[in-house]
Amino acid sequence: MNSVPIFHDDITEILKDEKPEFTILYIDDVPLRGPATRYEQPDGSYKTVLGNQGMWRFVYEHMINVNRILQYMRYVGGTFSGPKTICADKITIVGFECSYQGRCHDLAKWLS
């Protein structure tokens, strides 16, 4: 009966240094926020990682954050169940579509 609030409190403590910049926990979900910018160039391309012209800088920064948070969880013996999405252009969280441009109501959910 108390497993969800206990889990939430435990994860909140484990990831306290990551909130609110990289994650804001919701019940039993740990969504991760990507970088604030995509480092878009005037020509429409994106900045790449120095020494690796095939990797966009904003993806690289996000993967560093994902790795750090996963290491926190690994260190305390945490596990994850089911398939996970590491990167997405947009996701739906509690009836809101969240993307790089911001968030808005998921109209399909609200109109049905």
Closest CA to 8 of 109, 56, 112, 23: 23
- Six token digits for residue 107: 């109209």
If you search the block for the tokens 């690289």, which residue do you land on? 60
β-bridge mates for residue 96, sequence order: 93, 105
- Six token digits for residue 75: 């260190």
Residue 86 reports pLDDT greater than 70: yes
Residues 16-64 pLDDT 10s: 998 888 888 877 788 888 888 899 999 999 999 999 999 999 999 999 9
CA distance 64 to 61: 5
* pLDDT class of 109 with cuts at 50, 70, 90: low
> How confident is the model at residue 111, as a pLDDT?
67
Distance of CA 46 to the CA centre of its chain: 20
Residue 90 reports pLDDT greater than 70: yes
Could you state, in order of their start, the residue ranges of all structural domains in the chain?
3-81, 85-112
Closest CA to 76 of 20, 7, 26: 7
CA distance 67 to 82: 18
Residues 56-73 pLDDT 10s: 999 999 999 999 998 998
Closest CA to 30 of 9, 11, 4, 5: 11
